[in-house]
Amino acid sequence: MNTVPNILWLEEIRKEDIISVGGKGASLGEMSSIGLPVPKAFVVTAQAFRRFLVETGLEQKVYKSLDRLDVENNDALEKAAETAKGLVLKAKVSAAIRDEVKKAYRRMASDDLVVAVRSSATAEDLPDASFAGQQETYLNIRGEAALLTAVQKCWASLYGARAIYYRAKQGFDDHTVNIAVVVQQLVNSEKAGVMFTSHPITGEPLTIIEGSWGLGESVVSGSVSPDKYEFDQRTEKVVNRLISTKKIEIIADGEHGTKTVEVATGRQDSQVLSDAEVAKLAMYGKIAENHYGVPQDVEWGIVGDAFYILQSRPITTIGTKMSEQGASAEKSGAKESHKILVQGQGASPGIASGKVSIIRDVKDTGGVKEGDILVTRMTNPDMVPAMKKVAAIVTDEGGMTCHAAIVSRELGTPAVVGTKNATSLLKDGQLVTIDGERGLVYEGVIDQPLQKQQAVSQQVGIGPAPIITATSVKVNVSIPEAAARAAATGADGVGLLRIEHLILGLNKTPGWFITNHREEEFVRELHDGIKIVLDAFPGKPVWVRTLDAPTDEFRNMMGGENEPHEHNPMLGWRGIRRDLQSPDQFRLQVEAFKQLWKEGYDNVGVMFPMVSHPDQFVQAKEMMRGWGVDVETVTLGIMIEIPSSAILIEDFLTCGIKFASFGTNDLIQYTLAIDRNNENVADMYQPKHPAVLHLIHNAIQTCRKYGVECSICGQAGSDPKMVEWLVEHGISSVSANIDAIAKIRETVARTEKHIILEAARNRNAE
Ligand code: PEP
Ligand code: MG
């Protein structure tokens, strides 16, 4: 029998009580236990909500309304949400629960104590997901009747459309997600805001605080552009202040919970926090971070001299996904010479171009198309389906910690927030480019990064004389649009052309082309895309990698519905293992290569990804032979991404591979059992782990013995330190990201000279 009471007081709660009190409640309990200034509170437990569902006979009815719901169908989603919410709102709460809530309220203070009533979903605030803003909060609630209504409304908000959608997308089961309600003394903040106890993108020990006048809701919801302060924990100093114009504030309102009012002109531009206040808040943030062991996203408020910590939860995105590092390096740095239309804060990194779609009302999001740039005053959780579709997000208001920023980062969508006037300056349909790192919106479509311009000047002789290296320095290319600027680096060839990006860009899976008898079109697209890269590198080797997209990356494309659902796509049906089992798909790629070879592009090498056994190489080669490829003359090689291929490298060499290239992004994850996309274990993702270096060292030496080119095309090949080590250990070529080429070439040259110098010195010393 369940013995958890309907009500728990803050003092009784610890983080282990998350199932009963939700992330918010557990965190408040913990914080109060370590002495942070948390306002008085009690929690209506998740068990009280369950009892309510059972006692009223609602449980099955609610679940039924959600079963088999297609959350992408807006109408169906809205309808199901209305039904479920209506059921919860109309049902009568038992006298026992009502009495206990009323009693707790009276115990907290007098009958007219003003409280905030906050939902606290029990899957909320877990480290791997943020339900920020998905359930309701009611502020300025006064009196028993209003409190009971607010509690019931919080329960109903568990079934709001945006909450259902968000949970479905994050893989939470509606049947098991629960809701607790935190009833807390309302702090009528004179100033308030949010704080990231470490930098949300880089993870540096920089506390970022955003604050504005009135209640913190204006900052959290993004309805105001707040002041921003950066406090360096190493020097214990405020290192940055950005004072914004704070036009509105949200204050308590007797009848409607809260109201938005204009800030008096004199206060609009004045600084919200003194340095001493920033330091004190940062100190509280540090206490929370130290206690929880991970950086926190904290809500705070100040009334007079009293500081309050209102909630704290882990920041959901710290660190860059390894798979994105190369991409963002390629993507970052749009041309300064292009006209900047608007600027704000870079809230989610990445570059994207597209057509502006201005949304003035959430009802208009139906018109937002895939790849558009969503421009709006501020996003709210109802916009999540639209936010997922778009290429980038631009808002007039909000800061680094507002809803738009948090969700954009989680979705990996570039975002610029707090531009003040994007909705009035940008026009519907206008083509723009967003730099989500630097917070800029440029006119038109830009595809040449700034770093490239510098590289180009070197090439045409404005810079120093070209550096010649004995170790080839090649470049990685993922999209044909980048071919010209990749070539302008003067790279010695392409060490990795990822063709899956050509396919993902078509928005149709290879299976779709096959099922719809559009094979020729598929071959043509591949051929044309690869040809653009080949034409940019005449006479230089270009290693084209056969398809390597995990099944989940195909899912949202046409035909994606036929992709298998895999628990672990990284370890699943991808790379050569899929091609060998899907000869139709493999053959189409080979057709494209054949055409290119026939057209005289004999610089094409074909590289097989995710090879784990020499038999796979032999099988691939034999299939190609069967399709008319002269496999003994063309250049076929493998990626070393799985420890088994590094261990068995000699067997691969005796099977006739013409080259091997370390795919360290995968080699590291498979050697160390560290998911390269998982920020929780990102600090354990060590390219220079001795086991990884051991595998690489052995493979290099074996390739050298056979006189076969050994290269690297993973992200580690763009790291000068790693490249120094690789050159010292005898690698024959490295392939780096476009923007890293100049630096890598310099590193290679310096290391080579060092080796020669050392050898000469050693000879002289003998
Ligand atoms: C790698 O694994 O290092 C690699 C280059 O392949 P991808 O990043 O495409 O998996
Ligand atoms: Mg790989």
Convert the pLDDT of each residue in 579-590 to its tens digit: 999 999 999 999
| Residue minimizing CA distance to atom 7 of ligand 1 | 665
Closest ligand by atom to 549 CA: 1
Residue with tokens 């169906």: 76
> SS3 sequence, 383-401?
HHHHHHHCCEEEECCCCCC
- By the 8 A CB rule, do 703 and 732 touch? yes
Active-site hit among 291, 402, 403, 527: 403
∠ Cα 388 676 607 (to 5°): 95
Closest ligand by atom to 661 CA: 1
619: pLDDT strictly greater than 60:
yes
pLDDT band at residue 328 using 50, 70 and 90 as cut-offs:
very low
Q: CA-CA distance, 579 to 608, in Å (whole number)?
A: 10
The sheet carrying 373-376 orders its strands as 340-343, 440-443, 431-435, 351-359, 373-376, 392-395, 415-417, 345-348
How far does the centroid of ligand 2 lie from the alpha carbon of residue 607, in Å? 12
CA terminus-to-terminus distance, the chain: 84
How far does the centroid of ligand 2 lie from the alpha carbon of residue 609, in Å? 7
Instruction: Provide the 3-class DSSP secondary structure of residue 656.
Output: coil
Is 710 among the residues known to form the active site?
Answer: no
Q: Please give the pLDDT value at position 478.
A: 77
How far does the centroid of ligand 1 lie from the alpha carbon of residue 760, in Å? 38
Which pairs from 452-457 meet CB under 8 Å and 24+ separation? 452/333, 452/485, 452/488, 452/489, 452/738, 452/739, 453/335, 454/742, 455/485, 455/488, 455/489, 455/490, 455/738, 455/741, 455/742, 456/485, 456/488
| Residue minimizing CA distance to atom 4 of ligand 1 | 663
pLDDT band at residue 644 using 50, 70 and 90 as cut-offs:
very high
How far does the centroid of ligand 2 lie from the alpha carbon of residue 704, in Å? 23
| Residue minimizing CA distance to atom 1 of ligand 1 | 663
pLDDT digits (tens, 9 = 90+) for 509-554: 999 999 999 999 999 999 999 999 999 999 899 999 999 988 887 8
∠ Cα 219 678 582 (to 5°): 125
Substitution site in 479, 548, 645 for ligand 1 pocket (most atoms within 8 Å of beta carbon): 548
| Residue minimizing CA distance to atom 6 of ligand 1 | 663
Ligand 1 atom nearest to CA at 666? 2
| Residue spans of alpha helices (H) in 67-108 | 74-90, 95-108
173: pLDDT strictly greater than 80:
no
- By the 8 A CB rule, do 28 and 182 touch? yes
130: pLDDT strictly greater than 50:
no
Closest ligand by atom to 499 CA: 1
Substitution site in 476, 713, 726 for ligand 1 pocket (most atoms within 8 Å of beta carbon): 713
Q: Please give the pLDDT value at position 428.
A: 92
Q: Give the highest mean pLDDT range of 279-293, 544-558, 570-584.
A: 570-584
pLDDT digits (tens, 9 = 90+) for 433-474: 998 877 889 988 875 332 322 222 222 223 344 678 999 999
Closest ligand by atom to 736 CA: 1
Alpha-carbon dihedral sign for residues 687, 691, 693, 697: negative
Is 703 among the residues known to form the active site?
Answer: no
The sheet carrying 137-142 orders its strands as 7-9, 41-44, 179-185, 114-121, 137-142
Burial 736-762 (b: 16+ CB within 10 A, else e): bbbbbbbebbebbbebbeeeeeeeeee
| Residue minimizing CA distance to atom 8 of ligand 1 | 665
Instruction: Provide the 3-class DSSP secondary structure of residue 475.
Output: strand
Closest ligand by atom to 500 CA: 1
Q: What is the pTM of this model?
A: 0.48
pLDDT band at residue 147 using 50, 70 and 90 as cut-offs:
very high
Ligand 1 atom nearest to CA at 664? 3
- By the 8 A CB rule, do 579 and 546 touch? yes
Active-site hit among 154, 402, 703, 713: 713
pLDDT band at residue 322 using 50, 70 and 90 as cut-offs:
very low
365: pLDDT strictly greater than 80:
no
Q: Please give the pLDDT value at position 125.
A: 41
Substitution site in 324, 325, 496, 498 for ligand 1 pocket (most atoms within 8 Å of beta carbon): 498
How far does the centroid of ligand 1 lie from the alpha carbon of residue 745, in Å? 21
Q: If you average pLDDT over residues 94-106, what whole number do you get?
A: 94
Residues 6+ apart with CB under 8 A from 89: 152, 153, 156
Ligand 1 atom nearest to CA at 667? 2
How far does the centroid of ligand 2 lie from the alpha carbon of residue 163, in Å? 35
Q: If you average pLDDT over residues 420-430, what whole number do you get?
A: 92
How far does the centroid of ligand 2 lie from the alpha carbon of residue 477, in Å? 14
Percent of the chain with pLDDT over 70: 88
Q: Please give the pLDDT value at position 205.
A: 87
Q: If you average pLDDT over residues 209-238, what whole number do you get?
A: 89
Ligand 1 atom nearest to CA at 609? 6
Q: 763 φ, ψ to 5°?
A: -60, -45
573: pLDDT strictly greater than 70:
yes
Substitution site in 476, 546, 611, 665 for ligand 1 pocket (most atoms within 8 Å of beta carbon): 665
Q: If you average pLDDT over residues 208-235, what whole number do you get?
A: 88
351: pLDDT strictly greater than 50:
yes
Ligand 1 atom nearest to CA at 713? 5
Q: Please give the pLDDT value at position 480.
A: 78
Q: If you average pLDDT over residues 704-711, what whole number do you get?
A: 97
Cα–chain-centroid distance for residue 80? 29
Residues contacting ligand 1 via CB (< 6 Å): 323, 496, 498, 548, 641, 663-666, 713-714
Residue with tokens 């209504």: 149
Q: If you average pLDDT over residues 259-268, what whole number do you get?
A: 90
How far does the centroid of ligand 1 lie from the alpha carbon of residue 753, in Å? 30
Lowest-confidence region among 204-218, 374-388, 410-424: 374-388
Side-chain half-sphere exposure of 698, counting CA atoms within 13 A: 14
How far does the centroid of ligand 1 lie from the alpha carbon of residue 663, in Å? 5
Q: Please give the pLDDT value at position 346.
A: 79
Ligand 1 atom nearest to CA at 498? 9
46: pLDDT strictly greater than 60:
yes
Q: CA-CA distance, 476 to 492, in Å (whole number)?
A: 11
Residue with tokens 């893989």: 171
Ligand 1 atom nearest to CA at 500? 9
pLDDT band at residue 701 using 50, 70 and 90 as cut-offs:
very high
- By the 8 A CB rule, do 296 and 312 touch? yes
* DSSP 8-state symbol, 480: G
